[in-house]
Chain A
Amino acid sequence: MMTREIVAGFVPLLDCAILVAASERGFARAEGLELILVRETSWANIRDRVIVGHFDVAHMLGPMALASSLGLGHLQVPMIAPIALGLGGNAITVSTDLWRQMVFHGASAGGATAPQGKALAAVIRERARSGASPLAFAMVYPFSCHNYELRYWLAASGIDPDRDLNLIVLPPPLLVSAMRENQIDGFCVGEPWNSLAVDSGVGCIVTATSDVWRRSPEKVLGMRTDWAQLHPEETAALIRACYRAAEWCASPANRIELAALLAQSKYINAPQEVLQRGLTGNLRVTDSDSTVHRPEFLLFAPHLATRPSKSHAIWFYAQMLRWAQAAPTPWAARAAQDIYRPDLYRLALANFRTAPPTEEMSIIPGDDFFDEQEFDPREFLGSRQD
């Protein structure tokens, strides 16, 4: 069998694990692929290098594939996501100073997500009354799950993310130092950056986003639609390689090996012990050693973690409209339904013993969201006959 070289871009975050395992543990080679990973420093670079063909595929923010297809803020280039690279894995962290004020208003280490939000709302009201400058929160990219999860939590806690605080973008490697220098009071990011902020004594983890939205979507394997059309066999082989790699990553027996792999300087370049926390869901939330256990913090394989679910893509579209990033059109609604490709996923895995069930566009139950509001993608699309 001929080996086909595939170049994949990635950003050093814990959820690049599936691609790293596929490349380093033979899952790609078993599918006839030589998977070459290239580290990138910004999401804009990931997008652009996929567009011009430097990368065949990339570790990509789910909403980015949609934003590119809709031409939001940039060249309009249709992209697809035929496999997801896991669920969850983010957390919201605030500075130790803000944390103290939140504790005064009822927040507690490892406490439930709703009261933590109420405590933040109380601090914000108090600051407004005393004429203090608004708090600044950071996330990693405008079209990201981090942005939408953070906004979702803030809004459901009675905080207007566009009026009551400054919401800015900062790349993950700069978050901890920006917090230390009081440039930001909080952020929403993937691991290991929350844990690193706790360890350096500058931040406390308020909540894992798995407590905001259980089993929420995150990164995908993104590629140009025309690349996938030109390379159907490679696309299918990539899906299979990532699927196998995801099962390997999810097995507790491999966690130490996975953490050691990811800790290397060419991948995440962070201490193995810190990476372990995100992989096991045992998060140290404050520097006084309070630890919480969130077994579903980051899921690689269980609960159909790699299946690209159309319900998730529609949720992204709903957030883009909610926060005025996109204008509603029937065409955009159609595009939002075509980004995630469970059909390609299922086709590639058809002969697998563990082949996943076909996806119906399903309601995301209220139980999964901390504010208990269900999301019905069909109803949403039906209500937006713009």
Chain B
Amino acid sequence: MSDTSLKILIVDQSEMRASVLEAGLREAGYDRVTILRDMQNLLRRIVDANPDVICIDLENPQRDVLEQMFQVSRLVHRPVAMFVNQSDAQSMAAAIEAGVGAYVVDGLRKERVKAIVDLAISRFNAFDRLTQELSTTRRALDERKLTDRAKGILMKQRNCTEEEAFSLMRTTAMNENLRVAEVAQHIITAANLPR
């Protein structure tokens, strides 16, 4: 059996992240990948998928459920935690850092699975960076909207140009050691105070 014929099950609450990992695995030649998002009948569905390797996101409270199932169920081929000796400590730290846990069927040589776990770690990390970038972009957009609204308020109150309004906000921000968006928020709040 070639390594790319290993059956992989992804248990992830985030549909998007699971797809990112699946795509990565398929690119690397692993085409027997199943994604489990819905946690109903977890055991039945694991039995049906009969995986060699299981990847689970660590924010998932079902992780404790999986560990128990693996210990007691005679239906699944006893998966064990990926990291069972001290020499794995570094990969384990990397996996936990990335937020992914891995279980492999007992008896499967760990070297055969390492590529899959490394891939999961890098995809989880990439997904995390992507999410962070998205939220930074979103925040920048929100801040721009705030600044525009505050500019409008100042222009009306002080009867000044847009440039003058912005320059006033920037100077205040510098003097008060605040960000322009924070000054804008103050201006909007003040303008909305009940009179």
Contact = CB atoms under 8 A, between A and B. Distances in A.
B92 A51 contact: yes
Interface string B61-102: 111110111111000000011011110110011001100010
From A45, A141, A174, residue with most partner B Cβ within 10 Å = A45
Interface in A29-80: 41-45, 48-49, 51-54, 73-75
B86 A42 contact: no
A41 B71 CA distance: 20
A42 B60 contact: yes
A85 to B, nearest CB: 19
Contact of B64 (A52, A54, A75, A171): A171
Interface string B127-145: 0000000000000000000
B58 interface: yes
A49 B96 contact: yes
A142 interface: yes
Contacts, number: 71
Contacts of B62: 42, 171
Given A42-B64, A52-B92, A141-B64, A75 B58 contact: no
A79 to B, nearest CB: 15
A168 B65 contact: yes
Contacts of B84: 74-75
Interface string A176-220: 000000000000000000000000000000000000000000000
Contact of A54 (B60, B86, B96, B101): B96
A169 interface: yes
Interface residues of B, number: 27
Given A41-B60, A171-B61, A174-B61, A52 B67 contact: no
B164 interface: no
Given A75-B85, A141-B68, A142-B67, A41 B61 contact: yes
A304 interface: no
A3 B68 CA distance: 40
Contact of B81 (A53, A74, A174): A74
Nearest to B81: A74
A245 B72 CA distance: 39
Given A54-B96, A73-B81, A74-B81, A44 B59 contact: no
Given A73-B71, A75-B86, A44 B64 contact: yes
Contacts of A75: 81, 83-86, 88, 92
A45 B63 contact: yes
Q: Which one of B59, B63, B70, B85 has the greatest number of beta carbons of chain A within 10 Å?
A: B63
A45 B65 contact: no
A170 interface: yes
Interface string A122-141: 00000000000000000011
Scoring A42, A51, A53, A73 by chain B CB atoms within 10 A of each residue's CB, the highest score goes to A42
B48 to A, nearest CB: 18
A49 B61 CA distance: 15
Nearest to B43: A168
Interface in A251-292: none
B135 to A, nearest CB: 20
From B64, B84, B86, B97, name the one whose CB has the most chain A CB atoms within 10 angstroms.
B64
Given A43-B64, A45-B58, A142 B71 contact: yes
A54 B60 CA distance: 18
A382 interface: no
A169 B64 contact: yes
A198 B81 CA distance: 36
Contacts of A54: 96-97
Contacts of A43: 64
Contacts of A141: 64, 68
Contacts of A45: 58, 63, 96
A44 B67 contact: yes
B85 A173 contact: no
Interface string B99-114: 0010000000000000
Given A75-B86, A141-B68, A142-B68, A44 B93 contact: no
A218 B158 CA distance: 65
A48 B93 CA distance: 9
B166 to A, nearest CB: 37
A366 B57 CA distance: 44
B75 to A, nearest CB: 12
Nearest to B93: A52
Contacts of A170: 65
Given A44-B67, A75-B85, A142-B71, A173 B61 contact: yes
A52 B97 CA distance: 9
B63 A52 contact: no
Given A75-B81, A75-B92, A48 B101 contact: yes
21 contacts: A41-B61, A41-B63, A42-B58, A42-B62, A42-B64, A44-B64, A45-B63, A45-B96, A48-B96, A52-B96, A52-B97, A74-B81, A140-B64, A142-B67, A142-B68, A142-B72, A168-B68, A169-B64, A171-B64, A171-B65, A173-B61
Interface of A: 41-45, 48-49, 51-54, 73-75, 140-142, 168-171, 173-174
| 3 closest cross-chain pairs (CB), A and B | A169-B68, A171-B61, A52-B93
Given A42-B62, A141-B68, 5 more contacts: A44-B67, A54-B97, A73-B81, A140-B64, A142-B71
